[in-house]
Structure 1
């Protein structure tokens, strides 16, 4: 059984001080960096929002459910992986891959992303023989939830390491955790 760590959207814009900063984002970044430093995975995959022109996903009057302020604009510092995570990735001897999502439309799940060669996350995981994943990152109630649900739907043994996630709001985070549990995603 090959296991991957999927690091969902631990980007500058989703940490405190960013365009859509989530409380606890910097703590998640530090914790994820420490997890990467521990090793033990057959693959580490990062996902990134990488918006070029995502249409109605961005709004000057966002509802924070379907529309959001400008964030993770491709090529900007806000779209980059948090420095702590980037440093841990650079120092690890584990294989590392990255997928970017949401260039021209909203994309929440890492499974909507592609790597530099155009391979989707499912293909990246399959090529590495991965059949189990630990999912961490930001935000629990949006992109972590969507990525974990898609992994489970693909038949991958899926665990969310809740202590290495941060959510936008308590109510939506709890609803996401309840749904993940219902869909047989392990929460630890």
Structure 2
């Protein structure tokens, strides 16, 4: 049994001042860096996901053709190779063992929908590392953190969400997402 850390989408476009900035995003980035400095040895493997959308096209309807509805369509964000797609500067990525890119030509909310830069699926890397438990942190609670945690539970992993290291787009939706994760079998903790 080994525990991994999933760092979900701590990117410039999802933190304050970004295309889809989340209030508290910079604090989450700094908090994750502190977690890794103080407890990095608790994790057998550290994964970090990023939205990595194609510059051309609407990415499977993810980018709005007109006005986004902010539910299923969004303004352009996290375009592969752009400053907005880069990790936030307060997140120290030296401890990251595996980077996952998601949303290439598609919506891509969950870390399980992505691949490594070499094209490997997350499930393969998890199996190779014999991961059975994951802690989930990052942005945003009500979207990509929610989907990643629920998918991890669906893949048979024991899941903890570190509630002081996530931030929602919407407070009520974030609370509902955490409740849904608990109902599915996840656990809420603080670092």
TM range (shorter): over 0.9
Deviation for aligned residue 1:168: 0.3
The equivalent of 1:171 in structure 2 is 172
Deviation for aligned residue 1:123: 1.3
Q: Supply the distance in 2 between the matched residues of 1:42 and 1:83 (Cα, whole angstroms).
A: 24
RMSD between aligned residues:
1.1
Is the contact between residue 36 and residue 89 of structure 1 (CA under 8 Å) also seen in structure 2?
A: no
| SS at structure 1 position matched to 2:90 | helix
Q: Supply the distance in 2 between the matched residues of 1:140 and 1:83 (Cα, whole angstroms).
A: 20
Q: Which residue among 57, 60, 85 is the counterpart of 1:55?
A: 60
| SS at structure 2 position matched to 1:125 | helix
Structure 2 portions without partners, runs of 5+: none
Q: Supply the distance in 2 between the matched residues of 1:98 and 1:172 (Cα, whole angstroms).
A: 27
Aligned length: 183
Q: Supply the distance in 2 between the matched residues of 1:118 and 1:166 (Cα, whole angstroms).
A: 29
The equivalent of 2:2 in structure 1 is 2
Give per-residue Cα distances to partners, 1:67-105, cap 9 Å, x unaligned: 1111001110100111221xx222x4xx61111000101
Structure 1 portions without partners, runs of 5+: none
Q: Supply the distance in 2 between the matched residues of 1:127 and 1:161 (Cα, whole angstroms).
A: 25
1:79 counterpart = 2:50: no
Query: Which deviates more from structure 2 when the two are superposed, residues 9-18 or residues 55-64?
Result: 55-64
Query: Which deviates more from structure 2 when the two are superposed, residues 133-142 or residues 120-129?
Result: 120-129
| SS at structure 1 position matched to 2:107 | coil
Q: Which residue among 48, 64, 77 is the counterpart of 2:70?
A: 64
Is the contact between residue 48 and residue 99 of structure 1 (CA under 8 Å) also seen in structure 2?
A: yes
Q: Supply the distance in 2 between the matched residues of 1:100 and 1:187 (Cα, whole angstroms).
A: 26
Scaled by the length of structure 2, what TM-score is found?
0.93
The equivalent of 1:103 in structure 2 is 104
1:89 counterpart = 2:93: yes
